[in-house]
Amino acid sequence: MSQSPSSLDALKNLTASLYGKDFLLTWDKSAEELELVLLVAETLRDLYRQNISVRCFDTGLAISNFRDQSTRTRFSFASASNLLGLAVQDLDEAKSQIAHGETVRETANMISFLTEVIGIRDDMFLGAGHTYMLEVAEALDDGFKNGVLAQRPALVNLQCDIDHPTQSMADLMWLKEYFGGLDNLRGKKLAMTWAYSPSYGKPLSVPQGIIGLMTRFGMDVHLAHPENYNLIPDVLEVGQTNAAASGGSFTHSHDMAAAFKDADIVYPKSWAPYHVMEKRTDLLRAKDQNGLKDLERACLEENAQYKDWECTEDRMATTKDGKALYMHCLPADITGVSCQAGEVADSVFERYRLETYKEAGAKPFIIAAMMLTSRFEQPAALLQQLANAETPRKNG
């Protein structure tokens, strides 16, 4: 007989529900709702490792709409969908009639007649991604309420201009595993810092997502970046409010050394300044290729002033016992490997390489948990039923 995972027992004690709700921003969710997602994800992973099928749909579609390139999230979404029994259908806007002036409201309904989940990545245009997702959500509500759709598909944010909840929740699941429980995160210092990269235009959603989520669990979150490299102001406020409520702290500086000093966790990662992303959005909308090239040049020149914002061995030595956990959403710009000078020294990355892979490995289960908690009213009962059935995922 299979062993019922302890996460499943913990799940039964929760009263929070995400049934019928979309997952767009972590700070829209209560702490218990976030814990619900974590526990469902852990249970799914445990059952998967025991070769127990967690397929809970016999048929049904999961639609992905990637408005930007993706490997990790694309495969995580495909894995999560398949794990639950859904077939992925990609909405490739280049191959569709959407360019013909079709409304978001219409498309959202047209693709949803037999659809259980829609995942969207839209992170290129500042001020656009989250707004677009809200518009899709409203259209789905409208279609479901009026009998156009037989079911209301769950919407999962696969990265927008504001947040990247599948990344930050996977990171949280990894931290919980690494440190042995959410309670153990209390009082831990996490340095979310900018880092130099020879590319530009990287989205803000990862640092914003980390700040918005990790301040919920009593951690001491230190955000550090060069003066010009601001994030969206609203999210900084979210960080402040969260830290105050959770008994942690939120520090904001322009000092990488201060951030790393005695840190338990470091998350050094490049991003483009908020004002650059705003200008880039305008240029992208105007399809101004020369303007974009000029902006890139200016931005890379500015970046180049901060080549010392690298996660080196020296910097790592200043962290707690010289052994802070290095994190990254991948792919990292590794000095001497993927670029001449980048976010992280080769030796540092190599020491934590497998840890970053394990961090990434949480994402398929987090996405599956977001899908499952939105589409099933009683996740604990469903998972217990699946655990009891012991249908092998792989025969023989």
Q: Residues in contact with a copy of itself, total (CB under 8 A)?
A: 81
As measured in angstroms, the least distance from the Cβ of 343 to a copy of itself is 12
* Nearest distance in Å: CB 188, a copy of itself: 23
Cβ proximity to a copy of itself: between 148 and 257 the closer is 148
Q: Which of residues 312-331 bind a copy of itself (CB under 8 A)?
A: 330-331
Between 78 and 369, CB nearer to a copy of itself: 78
Closest by CA position to 231, among listed 269, 273, 168, 276: 273
Torsion, CA 207, CA 211, CA 213, CA 214, rounded to 10: 110
173, 192, 345, 382: which one binds a copy of itself (CB under 8 A): 382
By CB under 8 A, tell whether 241 contacts a copy of itself: no
For 73, the token pair is 């999230």
**Rounded distance, CA 214 to CA 206, Å?**
12
**Interaction of residue 357 with a copy of itself, rule CB under 8 A:** yes
| Binding of residue 336 to a copy of itself (CB under 8 A) | no
Work out which of 2, 4, 17, 79 binds a copy of itself, going by CB under 8 A: 79
The tokens describing 367, both together, are 């996405």
Q: SS3 for 350?
A: helix
266-299: string of b/e by CB count within 10 Å (b at 16+)?
bbbbbbbbbebbebbbebbeeeeeeebeebbeeb
Q: Which of 21, 72, 252, 307 binds a copy of itself (CB under 8 A)?
A: 72
Nearer to a copy of itself, 304 or 381 (CB): 381
Q: Which amino acid is at 263?
A: A
Contacting residue, 360, 366, 369, 370, with a copy of itself by CB under 8 A: 360
Q: Which stretch binds a copy of itself (CB under 8 A): 95-103, 122-130, 250-258, 306-314?
A: 95-103
Q: Which of 185, 191, 240, 192 shows the shortest CA–CA distance to 217? A: 185
Q: Where are the alpha helices (DSSP H) in 215-262?
A: 233-246, 256-260
All residues at 6 or more sequence positions from 314 whose CB lies less than 8 Å from its CB, including other chains: none
Binding characters for a copy of itself, 195-224, by CB under 8 A (x = yes): ----x-------------------------
57 near a copy of itself, rule: CB under 8 A = yes
- What string marks each residue from 112 to 141 as x (binds a copy of itself by CB under 8 A) or -? -xxxx-------------------------
E-assigned strand segments in 295-393: 325-326
